[in-house]
Every structure is written in C-alpha cells, then in structure tokens.
A = this chain, B = another copy of it.
Amino acid sequence: MNSNIPRMILGSNHMDLADRVLAKDKRAAARLITLIESEEEEAYEQLGILHASTGKAHIIGVTGPPGSGKSTIVDRLAKKIRAKGKTVGIIAVDPTSPFTGGAILGDRIRMVDLTLDEGVFIRSMGTRGHLGGLSRAASGAVKVLDAFGMDVVILETVGAGQSEVEIVSHAHTTVIVEMPGLGDEIQTIKAGIMEIADIFVINKADREGADKTAMEIQAMLGLNPEKPEWEPPILQTVARTDQGVDVLLEKVEEHYKYLKASGKFEKMVEMGIREELNTLIRGHLNRLADDMIDREQFDKMVNDILARKIDPYTAASQLVEDIENKLK
C-alpha cells in the first residue's frame, strides 16, 4: 500500500498543473512539458484547461543548419526582448537526435544570465519515438509557455529538412539562419525551406562570402514568379558580437505587425487549429483501432502475409472491416 503514496501525491500535483502554470509557476510548466513529451493522457487534459489562456504570445521560429549560430542569435534576441520589458520562452528542438531525447541543443551553450532571468523560460527537446510526436510536443510546449504568459515564444530547431518545416509550422514568424561560404554544400537552403522563410539571416557575416550568400538567396527568391506581399528581408549578423541583431528584432516585430494588419495572422491561427483538430482526431482513431483490433486475427494475418497467402493491403482492409462491424 505504501508504494501507492508517491503516485497519489504525484497524481494530485498533476491535477492542478494547469492552474499552477497560469499562476506563473515555472516548475509546473517544466513538469507539464515533460508530461506532453511522454504523451500522457493527463497532459492533454491540462492543455485543454490552458487553451482559454493561449493566443497572446508572438511565436517566432528560428531554424538553420548546425553551426550557423542559431542558439547565439536566439539568446541575443531574447535579451533584447527582455530589455524591452517583455518575457520570453525558448524551446530548442533537435529533430536530428532520434533516441536520446532532451538536452542536446540549448542547455549546452545558453547564456548564463539568460537562464537566471525570472522572465525567461528555456527548454530543450529531442525526438522520442517518431517525428510527428516531436512536432506535436513542441506545439504543446509552445502552448504552455503562451498560457504561462510569455509575451514571446521562440521555437528554435536545427535544420533537417521536412522535420524543421513541420516544427516551425507552429510559429508566426520564421527566421532562417544561414552562414557564408557553404559553397557547393548550400544544399541546406532547399526549396521547401525557402518557402517558409519570413526573414533570412546570414550569421557569421564577418566571414568571407556573406554578400555572395545573400545574392544567392536573393536569386532564389527571385525565381518566385509571384511577388509576395511580404518580401523576406535578407539580413547579415555577427551574433557573437551582437552585430545586426537589433535590425533582426526590428524586422521580426515588423513582420508581426504585417501579419496582424493584413489579416494573415487570423487565417494562420485558424489553419493551425484545423490541422491540430485533424491530428487529434487521427490520434483518437488510432488508439481506438489499437483497442479494437483482434490480436489473434492480426497475428494470423501476419503469418498469412509471410506465407504470401494474402497481401498486406487486403489484410488491412479486412481488419478494418472487422473494426467497423464491431462498432455497428
């Protein structure tokens, strides 16, 4: 009986995690994000409670290849936002780290004065299980910090193709960080990444080739036949010495104003909710299927597929039909 006590205590703490987040309890926020990462049922209930208090933060996505200095840029931005009296949450996500989970990015190199600042919350996340899970967890963590009352939430992720695109899709303003002189290996700026960029930053611009990289990005943007309403500026920074970061923050704020004034912000939020709702519905159905599939029947099908008596497509159809019949 004794062994139940800690769990009960933990349980009762969970119960009011959302309320504690709303009361600006950072440890509650951290714990809720951990629950979200583990995809605990409880986490969704707490997120449900928090929903009413979300929608106020400006969410900024920052992405780019390893070594481009993303984290330094994020830290500099955060300090400048703090200097304006605003609070900042930082979520650093590393989708290239499949199984380790946790503190790869972020904790390592963060500025100490930032981590000690009461108005700042920093968290790093790695992949647990599959990619969709990480993007979902990142989105949940953003919501927690939004509900917590952070004026700005920065979602930082390392460039890795489709995964970074999925993760920064939760941001209002997306900053792509590059560096000069990638030469042949400028494979990092791919078509899909170009499309999601609201602002380009060439960091380490004191190195040779910054202007050339800027021109290359400009040329790639020029390939777009339609002239977009918002033309992504291409900035040069040296985050290490704080050079150009003020201009970056200005542009970030300008983009936010543009989104609000043009009505794009509302549309963006609505699209996000549609997608989230679809994802949640799919999750529900998958769990439903797990519960309803006849395991014996499933194993029999696997053996028949192995023996090539049936193909996997026909087998799946039959198993789904069984589920439908059960629901009837």
Which of A93-101, A109-117, A234-242 contacts the other chain?
A: A93-101
Tell yes or no: A280 within 8 A of B by CB: yes
CA–CA, A130 and B282, complex, Å: 15
Q: Are A289 and B280 in contact (CB under 8 A)?
A: no
Contact size range, A: 35 or more
> Which residue in chain B gives the minimum CB-CB distance to A304?
B273
Chain A window 247-274, contacts with chain B (Cβ cutoff 8 Å), 1 for yes, 0 for no = 0000000000000000000000110011
> In the complex, which residues 285-326 of chain A have their Cβ closer than 8 Å to any Cβ of chain B?
285-286, 288-289, 293, 298, 301-302, 305-306, 308, 311-317, 319-320, 323-324
- In the assembled complex, how far is the CB of residue A231 from the closest CB belonging to chain B, in whole angstroms? 20
CA–CA, A23 and B184, complex, Å: 42
Q: Are A276 and B162 in contact (CB under 8 A)?
A: no
Chain A window 177-206, contacts with chain B (Cβ cutoff 8 Å), 1 for yes, 0 for no = 000000011010011110100000000000
Q: Are A281 and B293 in contact (CB under 8 A)?
A: yes
Residues of B within 8 A of A192 (CB): 97-100, 127
CA–CA, A145 and B209, complex, Å: 44
Q: Are B96 and A288 in contact (CB under 8 A)?
A: no
Q: Are B320 and A98 in contact (CB under 8 A)?
A: no
CA–CA, A187 and B195, complex, Å: 26
> Which residue in chain B gives the minimum CB-CB distance to A50?
B311
The answer, among B67, B285, B327, for a CB contact under 8 Å with A289, is B285
CA–CA, A166 and B131, complex, Å: 10
CA–CA, A311 and B67, complex, Å: 39
Tell yes or no: A11 within 8 A of B by CB: no
Q: Are B190 and A311 in contact (CB under 8 A)?
A: no
Residues of B within 8 A of A298 (CB): 277
- In the assembled complex, how far is the CB of residue A309 from the closest CB belonging to chain B, in whole angstroms? 9
Selected A-B contacts with CB under 8 Å, 28 pairs: A47-B313, A48-B314, A49-B311, A51-B312, A54-B308, A67-B184, A95-B161, A96-B162, A96-B187, A97-B161, A98-B161, A98-B162, A98-B191, A98-B192, A127-B161, A131-B163, A134-B162, A162-B163, A277-B302, A277-B305, A277-B315, A277-B319, A280-B312, A280-B316, A281-B289, A284-B317, A285-B289, A288-B320
Interface residues of A (CB under 8 A from B): 44-45, 47-52, 54-55, 66-67, 95-100, 127, 130-132, 134, 160-163, 165-166, 184-185, 187, 190-193, 195, 269-270, 273-274, 276-277, 280-286, 288-289, 293, 298, 301-302, 305-306, 308, 311-317, 319-320, 323-324, 327-328
20 extra interface residue pairs, beta carbon distance < 8 Å, beyond A67-B185, A131-B163, A269-B306: A48-B311, A51-B308, A51-B311, A51-B313, A55-B308, A66-B187, A67-B184, A95-B161, A98-B193, A99-B192, A131-B131, A160-B163, A273-B302, A274-B302, A277-B315, A280-B313, A282-B286, A285-B286, A288-B324, A324-B327
